[in-house]
Chain A
Amino acid sequence: MESSILESIGQEIIGVMSPVSLCMLLVVLLVYSLSDSNPFSSSSAPIRTAANLVYLENPSDTTAQKLEGALLNALVFVILIAIVTFVLVLLYYYNFTNFLKNYMRFSAFFVLGGFVVLGVRYNGWFYLLSIIQHFSIPIDSITCFLLLFNYTIVGVLSMFSGGMPIVLRQGYMVSLGIIVATWFTKLPEWTTWVLLVALALYDLVAVLAPGGPLKLLVELASSRDEELPALVYEARPTVSRNEGNPRSTLGFLVAGVSDSGSVEMQAVSNNNVRRDGAENRRSPEYTAIQVRNLENVEGERNRDEGERSPLVGHSRERYSSDSNSSEYSTVIHNRESETSVDEEMSPLVDLLGMDNEREHERRDSVVASRGIKLGLGDFVFYSVLVGRAAMYDLMTVYACYLAIISGLGCTLILLSVCHRALPALPISITLGVIFYFLTRLLMEPFVVGMATNLMMF
């Protein structure tokens, strides 16, 4: 029995949605378990951070005051972000790539390890402490420190060097998102909402407007054919697909053929994988030759390996160490499926002759080795929205979750239409905010009134 297309369509979308959902779920659980019955998180003294430099919200202020203050806060924060992004773009433009990488290692180290950067009370350490306190886990400080230290080091290594399993990298991206998002939920309510809207607007401008910093960054990176110097979640295929070929569903639902985008969604192309494949396809010992070929190409590839994606790094490492061949066979598998894709696709590509067959193969495998990328910022702010909703009620959480996920889906579909890097925040945040207030103002009295009378439909 051939597998139906239901199994292959939408794999990429789910690949992006599931980590986002996981991140949101964990943030909601954290917010929920820590918000009540914990003396630390009641935030008796409001903290001053980059996000509320101008105005400290006070529950007794009037609405106009709160709104004005929140607007000012958001404005200052967005301006700060814009300045930082421009500095990053400038650094990247003048090829300070190593500096950027080290800077990001450093900051990831501090966020994960949770030292002084954000103020000891409101970072990873703080959460760890309050979780330990909340569930009264018996653990001594030395063990705790050692565990945290190891966790941090592995995290930093996995995020910025090749040769680590991509699952580890993805896991650390999600945990980084969780830590930052939980920190952001400490902001006062009005500031959070205005800030989210302002960031969505900023995202829209920065990615789409000509001269927007993220647009510049993306174009630079793609013209240099390099990885983006940013914290980006890659939904790269990790398992071999046997029949449900990745390329076609991508082409159908989300033909993510955009070049790149740092804080945004993008489709990654992994050009250097294909070069060797083009020579000897359709030969009987396809796999065997493939293996040898990889070995030959090894030398040329080594040069830029450090900056390259983990997937490529894998194939090299596994091959040389020869300890764990499963990952390696994944690569081979992928290629085989590409071949079968080619044969299956023939009606679509109107009978290519032998001459342009190679070109076709090239194009196809480029598309096949793409994944969708989602910036860490999107993770963070989605989770901030849901976390903020969790402070009101569970109902708003579900509504916001659905709204954000559907916004993400819309963005992914737009990605297939536009073929370029797109901002992931605007649609989702807009929908999320609208649904939050609709749920809170309209739906909750309705549902509670019905349900407490045991009337349902």
Chain B
Amino acid sequence: MTVAAGIGYALVALGPSLSLFIAVISKKPFLILTLLSSTLVWLISLIILSGIWRAFLPLNSTTWWPFAILIFTSIAFQEGLRLLFWKVYKRLEDILDAFADRVSKPRLYLTDKMQIALAGGLGHGVAHAVFFCLSLLTPAFGPATYFVDRCSQIPFFLVSAIIALAFVTVHTFSMVIAFNGYAEGNKVDQLFVPSVHLAAGMMTLINFAYGGCIIGIPLLFLMAILTVMHCGRMVWRRLGENQRQFATTKTILSNPRLAAYYMRMFVMPIVVV
């Protein structure tokens, strides 16, 4: 039973990513490599951040503002890293196109580019879920569970799994939005991503109040849904524009469908809360 609970928590956090991985990523080796490297980038960013903040730890758990500063700096750092990631990707895209020309293959389609962005985002998201949720799950496989004082209604593992699910979603799709925004030079999209990330991070601060997670988590999922919807709209628009250029369009990355799936996934946890 306890093993079942542990696996269940893991699947709550990573189930959607797993299906996304199997459906889209796993068939294309290059996307797997992108996913792995993006996970590594996120891990390195986390290590650097923890190296910087190590001196101030453990934080006083009665005041909230040190956490606010911590989250703000972390998100700022990670958004800077996203820009770097984009620069590297841009160079990679040129190399790939040159290579495609050389072997007389078609260049990268729009859907291919979006899939690369999706893989990169999924890497970030999976890294988040793995380090903030999965790695703390070890005790959940044992015979007991754990509650934190501030959110005493549901077990800690379930809360962290649900929060991780929201963050996986935000990370995954905001990368698609960000890459598209950079490619088009769309200022709105470029600003949308950091602000959503920041808002989501700040919403976890609500958990600091006693019983705050009842409000904080639904708000967090609101951000996630917002991200998915924005991403779906954007992809829809881009694909529509693209259809005129290419006679045939792949129906990969059918994001509206995924969005619907995610909506269903979110409604359930909110009801639980």
Q: Which of B87-101 contact A (CB under 8 A)?
A: 96, 99-100
Residue A352 CB within 8 A of the other chain: no
Residue B245 CB within 8 A of the other chain: no
Residue B130 CB within 8 A of the other chain: yes
Q: In the complex, what residues of A have CB within 8 A of residue B261's CB?
A: none
Q: Does B205 lie within 8 Å of A455, measured CB to CB?
A: yes
Q: Does A442 lie within 8 Å of B208, measured CB to CB?
A: no
Q: In the complex, what residues of B have CB within 8 A of residue A435's CB?
A: 43, 47
Q: Does A457 lie within 8 Å of B78, measured CB to CB?
A: yes
Question: Smallest CB-CB separation from A7: which chain B residue?
Answer: B28
- Report which of A11, A394, A438 forms a contact with B138, defined as CB distance below 8 A: A394
Contact indicator per residue, chain B 113-150, by CB within 8 Å of chain A (1) or not (0) = 00110000000000010111111111000000000101
Chain-B contact segment, one of A72-80, A341-349, A368-376: A341-349
Q: In the complex, what residues of B have CB within 8 A of residue A45's CB?
A: none
- The docked-state distance in angstroms from the alpha carbon of A402 to that of B127 is 10
Give the Cβ gap from A162 to chain B, nearest Cβ, in Å: 28
Q: Does B99 lie within 8 Å of A5, measured CB to CB?
A: yes
Residue A223 CB within 8 A of the other chain: no
Q: Does B148 lie within 8 Å of A456, measured CB to CB?
A: no
Q: Does B148 lie within 8 Å of A454, measured CB to CB?
A: yes
| Of listed B130, B131, B151, B164, residue having the most chain A CB within 10 A | B131
Q: In the complex, what residues of A have CB within 8 A of residue B103's CB?
A: 5, 245, 248, 344-345, 348
Q: In the complex, what residues of A have CB within 8 A of residue B134's CB?
A: 394, 398
Contact indicator per residue, chain B 66-104, by CB within 8 Å of chain A (1) or not (0) = 010011001100100000000000000000100110111
Given contacts A344-B104, A447-B46, A456-B167, contact A9 B96 (CB under 8 A): yes
Contact indicator per residue, chain B 30-59, by CB within 8 Å of chain A (1) or not (0) = 111100110110010011011101100111
Q: In the complex, what residues of B have CB within 8 A of residue A448's CB?
A: 136
Q: Does B204 lie within 8 Å of A455, measured CB to CB?
A: yes
Q: Does A454 lie within 8 Å of B47, measured CB to CB?
A: no
- The docked-state distance in angstroms from the alpha carbon of A451 to that of B70 is 13
Q: Does B36 lie within 8 Å of A406, measured CB to CB?
A: yes
Chain-A contact segment, one of B155-163, B179-187, B222-230, B231-239: B155-163
Q: Does B136 lie within 8 Å of A454, measured CB to CB?
A: no
Q: Does B250 lie within 8 Å of A402, measured CB to CB?
A: no
Q: Does A10 lie within 8 Å of B29, measured CB to CB?
A: yes
Interface range for B: 35 or more
Q: Does B50 lie within 8 Å of A446, measured CB to CB?
A: yes
Q: Does A10 lie within 8 Å of B32, measured CB to CB?
A: yes
Q: Does A453 lie within 8 Å of B47, measured CB to CB?
A: no
| Of listed B49, B75, B197, residue having the most chain A CB within 10 A | B49
Contact indicator per residue, chain B 160-199, by CB within 8 Å of chain A (1) or not (0) = 1001100100000000000000000000000000000100
- The docked-state distance in angstroms from the alpha carbon of A398 to that of B130 is 8
Residue A393 CB within 8 A of the other chain: yes
Residue A6 CB within 8 A of the other chain: yes
Residue A452 CB within 8 A of the other chain: yes
Q: In the complex, what residues of A have CB within 8 A of residue B131's CB?
A: 395, 398, 443, 447
Residue A4 CB within 8 A of the other chain: yes
- The docked-state distance in angstroms from the alpha carbon of A277 to that of B100 is 27
Give the Cβ gap from A347 to chain B, nearest Cβ, in Å: 7
- The docked-state distance in angstroms from the alpha carbon of A446 to that of B51 is 9
- Report which of A7, A14, A406 forms a contact with B37, defined as CB distance below 8 A: A406
Q: In the complex, what residues of B have CB within 8 A of residue A245's CB?
A: 103
Residue A449 CB within 8 A of the other chain: yes
Q: Does B151 lie within 8 Å of A442, measured CB to CB?
A: no
Question: Smallest CB-CB separation from B58: which chain A residue?
Answer: A449
Residue B12 CB within 8 A of the other chain: no
Given contacts A6-B112, A345-B103, contact A455 B71 (CB under 8 A): yes
Q: Does A5 lie within 8 Å of B36, measured CB to CB?
A: no
Q: Does B135 lie within 8 Å of A394, measured CB to CB?
A: yes
Residue A237 CB within 8 A of the other chain: no
Residue A155 CB within 8 A of the other chain: no
Residue B201 CB within 8 A of the other chain: yes
Residue A1 CB within 8 A of the other chain: yes
Give the Cβ gap from B47 to chain A, nearest Cβ, in Å: 5
- The docked-state distance in angstroms from the alpha carbon of A78 to that of B151 is 53
Residue A405 CB within 8 A of the other chain: yes
Q: Does A252 lie within 8 Å of B205, measured CB to CB?
A: no
- The docked-state distance in angstroms from the alpha carbon of A260 to that of B70 is 51
Contact indicator per residue, chain A 175-219, by CB within 8 Å of chain B (1) or not (0) = 000000000000000000000000000000000000000000000
Residue B108 CB within 8 A of the other chain: yes
Q: In the complex, what residues of A have CB within 8 A of residue B204's CB?
A: 454-457
Q: Does A453 lie within 8 Å of B29, measured CB to CB?
A: no
- Report which of B57, B75, B216, B250 forms a contact with A446, defined as CB distance below 8 A: B57
Q: Does A454 lie within 8 Å of B30, measured CB to CB?
A: no
Q: In the complex, what residues of A have CB within 8 A of residue B208's CB?
A: 453-455
Residue A31 CB within 8 A of the other chain: no
- The docked-state distance in angstroms from the alpha carbon of A73 to that of B108 is 53
Q: In the complex, what residues of A have CB within 8 A of residue B27's CB?
A: 7
Q: Does A399 lie within 8 Å of B33, measured CB to CB?
A: no
Residue A46 CB within 8 A of the other chain: no
Q: Does A455 lie within 8 Å of B160, measured CB to CB?
A: no
Question: Smallest CB-CB separation from A1: which chain B residue?
Answer: B248
Residue A158 CB within 8 A of the other chain: no
- The docked-state distance in angstroms from the alpha carbon of A451 to that of B163 is 10
Q: Which of A24-69 contact B (CB under 8 A)?
A: none
Q: In the complex, what residues of B have CB within 8 A of residue A456's CB?
A: 128, 132, 160, 163-164, 167, 201, 204
| Of listed A11, A442, A450, A457, residue having the most chain B CB within 10 A | A457
Residue A445 CB within 8 A of the other chain: yes
Instruction: Taking A11-B29, A345-B103, A451-B160 as given, write out 10 further A-B residue pairs in contact, using a Cβ cutoff of 8 Å, ordered by the A residue number.
Output: A5-B106, A6-B115, A7-B30, A406-B40, A438-B47, A438-B51, A446-B49, A450-B70, A456-B204, A457-B71
Return the 3 tightest CB-CB contacts between A and B, nearest first.
Answer: A446-B50, A395-B135, A10-B29
25 A-B pairs, CB-CB below 8 angstroms?
A: A1-B250, A4-B106, A4-B112, A5-B96, A5-B99, A9-B29, A9-B30, A13-B29, A13-B33, A248-B103, A347-B102, A347-B104, A348-B103, A398-B130, A399-B43, A442-B50, A447-B131, A447-B132, A453-B148, A454-B204, A454-B208, A456-B132, A456-B204, A457-B71, A457-B75
Interface residues, chain B, with chain A CB atoms under 8 Å away: 27-33, 36-37, 39-40, 43, 46-47, 49-51, 53-54, 57-59, 61, 67, 70-71, 74-75, 78, 96, 99-100, 102-106, 108-109, 112, 115-116, 128, 130-138, 148, 150-151, 156, 159-160, 163-164, 167, 197, 200-201, 204-205, 207-208, 213, 216, 248, 250
Interface residues, chain A, with chain B CB atoms under 8 Å away: 1-11, 13-14, 245, 248, 252, 344-345, 347-348, 393-395, 398-399, 402-403, 405-406, 409, 435, 438-439, 442-443, 445-457
